[in-house]
Structure 1
């Protein structure tokens, strides 16, 4: 498998971000990313998809306005907003064979920022979406802000302090939906980087070095940008990915699979239950942290180690969380044992 590190849910000058697509690509390249997914609000600049100095820039769109924000990747035509009936938007993305991700579903907002504005997802009768953004950097930063003094202090001295891990409500929804069908989870930065004078607030550089997604592919990315986009999106659709908060440590080199002593089944896989299954977890560079193996959303194993091997005695949906004390680090997508 090949591993590619990227940032999903990014805004540019094409909507309400502060940097051009070209500037964003340059900053992402310096941050060591392999790809970036730009999802400007109801913007359809697909022609800008391409390689920029070796970095793959994928142009998508964040659909809808007042609520039910939906990230669309891999589409090729404009899609009209429909905030009151998001199923129509989901269906249109599906008709274009794109990938659709429910954005910041449990966003609450803060009375001291943006007049308390929030953009939650409230209609859970919908179907056909591919993924859920269970962790949104800017939404969490906003939700955790209690007053203007605290916001200013954090921006100047500790910009990552409000970031405490995936949204618990969103993760619970992800685990529940996973019981019925395959769905993948992502972490999004939702970068806008507003400027106050010469200062960028929560800059592209800061967030590209903070919260990223790792996509696992079966082959190297092709040199053709559209073919490379297809490889990345197909792997996302299959749930072959994990995401990480990388302020302390990069997450490249993390491994999680289930083995029957003959074959191995990686993140995103389906396999039939049989005897002698075991879950294998390896942390990058043999770093020691708290490893949690989750089955159907509940912890079944916990250890402070650099690696773990755990017997899989039951059918279920398995994923891994890695924490350093109270600090979040790595979160895998599911392996399905049927």
Structure 2
């Protein structure tokens, strides 16, 4: 018996020692995090305010930590106008409602046999939808109800989208996912998770931003699918309450263009929700990691803005908002385009698709800096050069 007690005591001391070591390592990152300064790009005075909100949020109606009311309060504190709630398999969500000045928009995340499908904007009831249904049937059901289907965390190791045929039918794609960022950090605890946890202790917003380290796989898959038909890029909060709703809401948001949605939103919740969901489903909304700066004033010019199309040989102009200091902002280009030496013009080099994003030099671990995505619009389809053009 004494040997058992001794072994247990040694085991407890080892676990306690490991926990203290990990807390000590995390604490190393807490102090410099308190000096991290946001936003990176100050907004221009008098710039119009765009309607902004959170997409893909979970509450106590599924596996979230906060009630819808608590989520609304967190969104209000973070300065958001709307939240798209997507509780798991919540096939009869409440109607749109204003709660504490925030519009709660109903949606759902459907668990199919090949992955998770987020959906919103349904104008009619979802017919025949159930858990673990075939993925293609789920995509068709959302379309039949007048909604927008989005592949949720489609390249995530834990819950990827595994059916190629239905992936090619869903219009939406979560290009960046806060939950995926967190799971990537968990798989790399020393290099990514501990710095983020430590920074979170000293500066919650900075801790969340340290998690925002994109991997190449989602972008490559997104471009592949976008070559076949127009796609909509989403930044998904996939918020469950840990990290806190408010910290995640302060880190990024989906923004709606003022020509599509007025600010403030209409007082009628159903009318406001219709405007929000149509704008999100149009492909003209954009994502911004708002901790880095507000995107109001951003523009991608030189294309058909409604269809998001241009032709081979055209040149897109990137208008960067705010007053960035030299060397703090850069344009990133993937697909069938190349950035010209001026750093703001994108020449379309071939038929297909081009993804243009604005990245910013953000506070990193300790006192360094790291490049992170800032403004993320949906891609532009590049059509062949027509005769006589």
The structure-2 alpha-carbon separation of the partners of 1:190 and 1:310, relative to structure 1 and needing over 3 Å to count, comes to closer
Question: How far apart, CA to CA, are the structure 1 residues paired with 2:358 and 2:251?
Answer: 16
Is 2:137 aligned against 1:95? no
Is 2:209 aligned against 1:184? no
**What residue is the counterpart of 2:378 in the other structure?**
333
The structure-2 alpha-carbon separation of the partners of 1:155 and 1:234, relative to structure 1 and needing over 3 Å to count, comes to same
**What residue is the counterpart of 1:284 in the other structure?**
321
Is 2:268 aligned against 1:218? no
TM-score if structure 1 supplies the norm length? 0.81
The structure-2 alpha-carbon separation of the partners of 1:119 and 1:270, relative to structure 1 and needing over 3 Å to count, comes to closer
The structure-2 alpha-carbon separation of the partners of 1:124 and 1:315, relative to structure 1 and needing over 3 Å to count, comes to closer
Cα distance, 1:287 vs structure 2: 1.6
1:33 match: secondary structure: coil
Deviation string 1:153-189 (CA, Å, 9 cap, x unpaired) is: 5323242323213x42122121111111111010101
Question: How far apart, CA to CA, are the structure 2 residues paired with 1:2 and 1:330?
Answer: 15
| Structure 1 stretches lacking a partner, 5+ long | 109-117, 194-200, 260-264
The structure-2 alpha-carbon separation of the partners of 1:123 and 1:322, relative to structure 1 and needing over 3 Å to count, comes to same
* Bigger shift: residues 285-294 or 36-45: 285-294
C-alpha RMSD over aligned residues: 2.8
Contact 2:312 2:382 in 1 (8 A): no
Cα distance, 1:90 vs structure 2: 0.9
**What residue is the counterpart of 1:129 in the other structure?**
170
**What residue is the counterpart of 1:119 in the other structure?**
159
Deviation string 1:52-91 (CA, Å, 9 cap, x unpaired) is: 2432211111111675100010235355335362111111
2:50 match: secondary structure: strand
TM-score if structure 2 supplies the norm length? 0.71
Contact 1:90 1:128 in 2 (8 A): yes
Deviation string 1:114-156 (CA, Å, 9 cap, x unpaired) is: xxxx111111111431201111111221122246676455323
> Which one has a larger percent strand, Structure 1 or Structure 2?
1
Contact 2:302 2:310 in 1 (8 A): no
1:182-331 mapped onto 2 (5 Å cutoff): 182-193=230-241, 201-216=242-257, 217-220=259-262, 221-258=265-302, 265-266=304-305, 269-271=307-309, 273=311, 277-288=314-325, 289-292=328-331, 294=333, 297-298=335-336, 300-301=338-339, 308-310=344-346, 316-325=352-361, 326-331=371-376
Question: How far apart, CA to CA, are the structure 2 residues paired with 1:240 and 1:14?
Answer: 30
Aligned residues: 311
Is 2:156 aligned against 1:156? no
Contact 2:49 2:296 in 1 (8 A): no
> Which one has a larger percent helix, Structure 1 or Structure 2?
2
Contact 1:11 1:191 in 2 (8 A): yes
Question: How far apart, CA to CA, are the structure 2 residues paired with 1:106 and 1:273?
Answer: 30
Contact 1:279 1:310 in 2 (8 A): yes
| Structure 2 stretches lacking a partner, 5+ long | 1-47, 201-206, 362-370, 384-389
Contact 1:66 1:119 in 2 (8 A): no
- Greater C-alpha radius of gyration: 2
The structure-2 alpha-carbon separation of the partners of 1:302 and 1:10, relative to structure 1 and needing over 3 Å to count, comes to farther
The structure-2 alpha-carbon separation of the partners of 1:269 and 1:319, relative to structure 1 and needing over 3 Å to count, comes to farther
Question: How far apart, CA to CA, are the structure 2 residues paired with 1:120 and 1:303?
Answer: 38
Deviation string 1:22-73 (CA, Å, 9 cap, x unpaired) is: 1211211221112111100111343242222432211111111675100010
Cα distance, 1:323 vs structure 2: 1.6
